[in-house]
Amino acid sequence: MNTPLPQSIESPDPRSVRILWRDGHISLYPSRTLRLFCPCASCVNEWTGERTVRESDIPEEIRPTSWNLVGQYALSIGFSDGHDTGIYSFELLRALCSCPHCEQDRRQKHHQS
């Protein structure tokens, strides 16, 4: 796997999750964004890839209430709305990083393709 591994995963305040990656990169995620991108089978249609969770159903104030490392490749997060089936692979988390640098990388890749 080419994705770097996290060095630390923290929630500096209930509204966000911060990952310090082993390659020095830092990602900051709004808690609500992570909930919206939950990859579990009840949030994403496994055949079509269509997201079945509605943005309007997710409370603004949502926050993580429990989390655990899954094997050596992912983080499972339980949220304050009771949803706890999402397993976020480090690959997915890295891809969800919305820092200006990663956004620009994505835009460039998008233009090339």
Binding residues for other proteins, rule CB under 8 A, total 27
Sign (positive or negative) of CA dihedral 26, 4, 94, 88: negative
**Four-point Cα dihedral 16, 27, 89, 37, nearest 10:** 50
105 binds other proteins, rule: CB under 8 A: no
CB of 22 to other proteins, least distance (A): 7
Residues 28-87 that bind other proteins (CB under 8 A): 63-75, 80, 87
95 binds other proteins, rule: CB under 8 A: no
Place of tokens 């490749």: 73
Place of tokens 């706890």: 84
The residue ranges that bind other proteins (CB under 8 A) are 1, 5-11, 13-14, 22, 63-75, 80, 87, 90
